[in-house]
Amino acid sequence: MSHVIRPTGKPASRLTLNTDGQPHTVQNILSVATLGLGLVAFVTGLSPAAHMIAAWAGALGFAGGLYSQYLSATTPERVLNIVGIVASFVGVAMGVFHGGFVP
C-alpha cells in the first residue's frame, strides 16, 4: 500500500509551452506577444475612442501571429497563436469599424 501514500507515475504538470523538452525561446516570445497584442486589440476595439490602437495592435498581432504559427513547434504554442490571431482579427475589425488606422 505504499503507492497510496506515494503515488507512482509522472509528477504534477507545470504550465509550459515546451512540451517536447526542448527550449523554444523565440517561438514562446512570439506566441505570448501574439496573445498580448490580440488582447490589447480586442479590449481597445470595444471603445470607439481607441480605434487607432485597436487597428494597429490588431494588424501587428495578426501578422505576427501568422509568422509565429509558421515557426511554432509545440501544440501549446499553436493554441496561444490561434487565440491571439482570432482576438487580433476581431480587434482590427472593430478598430476599422470605429474609425480605422488614422485619428
pLDDT of residue 12: 59
pLDDT of residue 50: 95
Tell me which residues of the chain have a pLDDT lower than 70: 1-13
pLDDT of residue 103: 87
pLDDT of residue 20: 87
| Residue 79, CA distances (Å) to 95, 99, 102 in order | 24, 30, 31
pLDDT of residue 11: 62
| Cβ–Cβ < 8 Å for 68, 30 | yes
pLDDT of residue 89: 98
